[in-house]
Amino acid sequence: MKFDDYFVRDPALCGNETVIRGTRVTLRTVLANLAEGATVEEVLADFPTLTAQDVRAVIAFAAASADEDLPMPELPEVA
């Protein structure tokens, strides 16, 4: 997935926060809604400018970011 197809940062939009391309909905807003337990359908109802693919892109971005940022646990030594 090419995240540049879905997200943009523009100083003229939402204080330069990352937004879903073509909207004023921030990535942070969508993630916060999902974290609070909202379903994809509820997010789409609350933000009608979004598509289901936009929400999937947000989830994929969060998963990829977590994978890159989480420290790798040390492996135990095998005797």
Q: Three-class SS of residue 22? A: coil
From the CB of residue 25, how many other CB atoms can be counted at a distance below 10 Å? Answer: 20
Q: Provide φ and ψ at 47, rounded to 5°.
A: -130, 80
pTM value is 0.78
Tell me which of 1.10.10.10, 3.40.50.460, 3.40.50.300, 3.90.45.10 is the CATH number of domain 3-63.
Answer: 1.10.10.10
Q: Provide φ and ψ at 19, rounded to 5°.
A: -120, 160
pLDDT score of 79: 55
The token pair at 76 is: 């135990």
Burial class (CB in 10 A: 0-12, 13-18, 19+), 38: middle
pLDDT tens-digit profile of 10-43? 898 898 999 999 999 999 999 999 999 999 999 9
Q: What are the residue ranges spanned by the domains of the chain?
A: 3-63
